[in-house]
Amino acid sequence: MSPNGLGRPALDIAIVNALVYTLDASDTVAQAVGINGNTIALLGPKSEVQEFADHRTRVIDANGHVVLPGFVDAHTHFAQMGVRESQLDLSDATSKHEALERVRNLAITRADGEWMIGSGWDESHWSDSNEYMNKEELDAASPNSPVLLRRVDGHLDCVNTRALEILNLPRDTIGYDLVDGEPTGVLKEDAVELAAELLEPSVEEFASGITTATKIAYRRGVTSVQDAQVNGKMLKAYRALNDSGQLNIRANLMITTDLLDELVALGLGAGFGNDRLQLGPLKVFSDGSIGAGTAALTEPYLGNSEELGLLMWSKEELEDIVLKAHKNDIQLAIHAIGDRAIDLVLDCFEKANSQQKKDLRHRIEHGEFLSEEQIARMRKMKIIASMQPNFVGQWGLAGGMYDHRLGRERTTRMNPFASVIKSGVPLVFGSDCMPFDPLYG
């Protein structure tokens, strides 16, 4: 007999006097919810749920507040977000002067030669300048210690002279910015990736970062994430936490493109794992970002008639990746922001489907500049749109970054969520950690 005499085990937790939005097909709203272990055991009126409580049940009075299912963030950089918590945060810097002053103040506390790494800055939100920081400005702030400051979108770094000397990147690297043969201190795309590899955290640091990020997720109501760029070290960190019972969030991992051959050889793909930790799609970048001026467009960026952004792969190279993944039943999640990049990705998907028609639930990540024609092509191939509503608030309002880079007319066509939904294309939302906050999104 159960403790309550009703043939059902007593609840571990009972949340009562709540507005419980179940988000089921009928939009059911309940007054109370009962939980056993990690399972929602009961939904209903307060009186019904309380029948299954006893002296051991933790009863939470919600006082009329809303209770929602845990949020799922479909596009994060979760491990990296946690690591950044121990670095210089420039996300709330309101001017270039303030950002540089924070670097200067931190440099005073650091030993000569000690790296200073920061992130989160966004020049489109600065009051005194919309220009990236250059090496001369960073040299003045930190003449003796190397500095690397990553833009909020992760596609651009600003570094000082000391950092350039230590990194020693080849000057012909794509994204290594030169003016009259001299480095400006601005790194984009491939140059950013090379710098990241040289300064990559350890497995232990990533594991600590995941734990830190999980605490942030709890505060935001997020219980499941997709980490959108997981390499070998991050995978080891997630696995170590999972094996030791310390991974306290559901994580689906998008594996980096360089591991495609390993996935093929091992016969692994999306869904492999358990309820807590699973492999997700293969993550591929086809272009950069609007903020870094590297998203691949069909028409030039505003104020620069020659700048169309960057494609990360030639058509032949991207086709090879897509065809190999598709042939081996590996789901793809391809970053494509500009309309030129989206066209290229869709061309590759169409070629793969023409050779072997499969429903692998391939995805386009971001799709900020989707056209109606491209949406129709996605619908035909059952491509998922993985998009970020927070980008509208960050950059899509009048006078925002989209306006400065693209002009108002093109800005009004960005992030067409309603068109995607009306067309029947599956749509998922993620934050991209800009910011990591589903309610803001």
3-state DSSP assignment of residue 221: coil
Domain residue spans in the chain? 13-69, 80-198, 203-429
- How confident is the model at residue 38, as a pLDDT? 85
CATH of domain 80-198: 3.10.310.70
| Tokens found for residue 228 | 């959108």
**Tokens 């950690």 sit on residue:** 433
Q: CA 162 to CA 204: how far, in whole Å?
A: 27
- How confident is the model at residue 3, as a pLDDT? 47
- How confident is the model at residue 7, as a pLDDT? 58
The reply to whether CATH 2.30.40.10 applies to domain 13-69 is yes
Q: CA 146 to CA 380: how far, in whole Å?
A: 50
- How confident is the model at residue 9, as a pLDDT? 80
Q: CA 14 to CA 59: how far, in whole Å?
A: 5
| Residue numbers of the chain with a pLDDT score lower than 50 | 1-5
CATH of domain 203-429: 3.20.20.140
Each residue of 296-335: pLDDT tens digit?
Answer: 999 999 999 999 999 999 999 999 999 999 999 999 999 9
Q: CA 337 to CA 315: how far, in whole Å?
A: 16
| Tokens found for residue 128 | 């005194």
Supply angle C-alpha 215, 222, 238, rounded to 5.
60
Output the CA torsion sign for 353, 359, 364, 369. Answer: positive
Contact (Cβ atoms closer than 8 angstroms) between residue 353 and residue 399 = no
CB atoms near residue 81 (< 10 Å): 22
